[in-house]
Amino acid sequence: MTSPRLDSDAALEAGLRALCDLDPAIAALVQAGLRPPLRKREPGFPGLVSIVVGQQLSTASAQAILGRLHAAFPELTAERIAKAPDAELLGVGLSRPKLRTLRAVSGAILGGTLALEGLADMPAEQAHAALTAISGIGPWTAEIYLLFCLGNPDVFPAGDLALQEAAKSLLGLTERPDAKALALIAARWRPWRGVAAGVLWAHYRQLKRRDGILAPR
């Protein structure tokens, strides 16, 4: 079964309806009023840059750095980043590891080993492999790009701690599942694992609000 891209509210609603048929626990959340937002990011180099910048940062911190980055580089391209001095990139708030990642991505694009515009036409596994072949791009970054920038409806970032915590709560588990265990659990949500991830993120935010903590997602 081929699912539509997650590029519209209609596609999201179709995914939610399918998930409700697949999993009573998700159905209970949806029937209680939970609706994950449609999360879309710009595809291509700017979108991948925003995901790299946001790794392990709060939304506010990531947005502040991205704002400075876009101010310094109105045309955010691989060519511009490749030519920029380290001091200019560090000056907007990038850490050295993220600077190295952006240089690796830029080099792969300019060298022809990474064609971001072609990833949408690849099977998810192949596109994931193309991204994670770049130094500094791990599974989570690749999965978030495929999900938010390309709208792949069946990508699931099982290594995401918020998803793990939400799954523990939703399924009444005694321990938080690790990435391997959560990937096995998520198989029940095919071919809408990306929508299931959105439900779990929304559930995680509910849990944190209930505990008096504003979650960063």
Q: Which two tokens stand for residue 73?
A: 């580089």
List of long-range contacts for 19-23, beta carbons under 8 Å, 24+ apart: 19/189, 19/192, 19/195, 19/196, 19/199, 22/188, 22/189, 22/192, 23/188, 23/189, 23/196
Of the candidates 196, 164, 160, the residue with the CA atom closest to the CA atom of residue 27: 196
Torsion on CA atoms 45, 47, 52, 54, rounded to nearest 10: 150
Residues 113 and 101: their CA atoms lie apart, in Å, by 15
**Can you give the pTM of this predicted structure?**
0.91
Q: Which residue reads 């907007």 in tokens?
A: 92
Read off the pLDDT of residues 88-129 as tens digits, 9 standing for 90 and up: 999 999 999 999 999 999 999 999 999 999 999 999 999 999
Whether the Cβ atoms of residue 214 and residue 208 lie closer than 8 Å to each other: yes
Residue 118 CA to chain centroid, in angstroms?
18
Of the candidates 124, 150, 151, 153, the residue with the CA atom closest to the CA atom of residue 139: 124
Q: Which domains, and CATH codes, for the chain?
A: 9-39+155-210 (1.10.1670.40), 45-149 (1.10.340.30)
Query: What percent of the chain lies above the pLDDT cut of 90?
Result: 90
- Helix and strand numbers (H, E) in the chain are 12, 0
* Cis peptide, bond prior to residue 191, ω within 30 of zero: yes
Mean pLDDT of the chain: 93
Q: Does the structure show a pLDDT above 80 at 216?
A: no
Read off the pLDDT of residues 55-96 as tens digits, 9 standing for 90 and up: 888 889 999 999 999 999 999 999 999 999 999 999 999 999
Residues 209 and 204: their CA atoms lie apart, in Å, by 9
Contacts (Cβ under 8 Å, ≥6 apart) of 210: none
